[in-house]
Amino acid sequence: MDKIISLEFTYRSKPYYALIRTKEYKGEKLHSVTIMNGDLERKLYGHHVIIEKDGVFQSAEEILNKEIAELKQSIAQALCQLQQSAV
């Protein structure tokens, strides 16, 4: 069963919110991100999946655009911090 959480993250010194849908697939956790900001959601389009394998968060695909990589890294860091605080 999928799990959905709300996540606050900081991108370029501003707070934003995202919904994270988590599901298990072949021993990995897949986190699908939906940002609650239209401009950032459009920017992340096609790069919205974060894989968690053995406690490490990584992009599901290579990101060549520096701005998109920075955005996704901000979300992954917030997700990691949330999981560490839950332990």
In this predicted structure, which of 15-19, 21-25, 33-37, 83-87 has the lowest mean pLDDT? 83-87
pLDDT by residue (tens digit) across 70-83?
A: 999 999 999 999 98
Asked if 85 contacts 17 with a C-beta cutoff of 8 angstroms, the reply is no
Residue 59 — pLDDT band, cuts 50, 70, 90? confident
Q: How far apart are CA 75 and CA 8, in angstroms?
A: 8
Judged against a pLDDT cut of 70, whether residue 87 lies above it is answered with no
